[in-house]
Amino acid sequence: MINLETPRKHRTLIDQAHQVAMNMLRPISRTYDRDEHSYPKELDMLAAMIDGLAESGSAEGAGASGVRRDDRDDDSGGVRNGANLASVMSVAEMCWGDTGLLLSMPRQGLGNSAIASVATPEQQERYAGTWAAMAITEPSTGSDSASISTTARLDGDEYVINGEKIYVTSGERADSVVVWATLDKSLGRAAIKSFVVRKDNPGMKVERLEHKLGIRASDTAAITFTDCRVPAEDLLGSPEIDVKQGFAGAMATFDNTRPLVAAMAVGCARASLDLTRDLLAQAGVTVDYDRPAQVQSAAAATLLRLEADWEGAQLLTMQAAWMADNRKPNSLEASMAKAKAGRVGSAITLACVELAGSLGYSEVELLEKWSRDSKILDIFEGTQQIQLLIVARRLLGLTSAELR
């Protein structure tokens, strides 16, 4: 039976993540928001510590993890609280500190989660220690990942990749980029595969870094691939095109990354709620959790409503991760978590700015920054509209061709 309380074995990891967020990330948050594109060198020490914890096995979920249906390391039939649940909970705590800095963490990129989800055991070992960004979005595709136009053509024992990717998180800093490309446009989405492209592969070029509304500590790049040659062994998973399976193999990556993004929204929104409650208390507005909202002040009633929305997002996020740990298909739940957390996260942070008045809008506090940071969490890894479309297809049992 599912229990969405913090598992005892993860409490130490979660507490450590909170301490890091409070004592390391919060103090430098404003600095790197203002100094966009500067690499936060303070993260190197933190990344080394996380690597050590993950390698020692003393903190399951300390690093990027993946959803793997074929991993049957526990056949006891019992309930597992594993790396996926630990990851989303620790990510939420880190984003309580700073979302942009979390996204800047070496070797914890969204591409690492993609590798963890779909790479073969040999590839898992070979890519150990790499910092991987993930490149999906193109200038002409928007949210429709299935219409990717970047091509990969087999030439001997190498693939030749041509195309352009935009909004690649950690695109400049990462060691490699997981690139989505099609092997055969005529076969549609079934031919889309992902490739690990290293920065020293000829033909890959970072064209520019984007200036952004939020998550400014994180670099976001536009990258071109011009006859970029990639060893055939760097195609993630199987090179076979399975028309019956369609896009499912590539989309399995999102079953892992969407709960992580939902966790980022949960953490950022929690930070806003905590600070706003403190600011209201300083102004003489007390939130009484034992009394109905309608008999309290408008500000207190608003905060209670926001906290109820937040709890719904948190529970959906934990459910999606728990299902992954217990080898249950979680595509529907991953999209539900991402849709709920992305929407309410953005709404909560903006509402907290309003509740705090001039303090919320100024740079005296971090509320205005969190409202800017949270917006992207409702957009990347599939927009709000795409998530709702996926949820509708799953609930109605319709294909993408039947419900567009």
Q: Is-contact 219 209, C-beta < 8 A?
A: yes
Residue 381 among the catalytic residues: yes
Backbone dihedral angles phi then psi of residue 391, each to the nearest 5 degrees: -60, -45
Report the C-alpha gap between 264 and 345 in whole angstroms.
9
Backbone dihedral angles phi then psi of residue 226, each to the nearest 5 degrees: -120, 105
Q: Is-contact 287 296, C-beta < 8 A?
A: yes
Other Cβ atoms closer than 10 A to 200: 8
Report the C-alpha gap between 25 and 255 in whole angstroms.
28
CA distances from 348 to 48, 228, 278 (A): 33, 43, 15
Report the C-alpha gap between 5 and 7 in whole angstroms.
6
Q: Is-contact 217 98, C-beta < 8 A?
A: yes
Q: 138, 240, 381, 402: which one is catalytic?
A: 381
Q: Is-contact 252 259, C-beta < 8 A?
A: no
The catalytic residues are 381
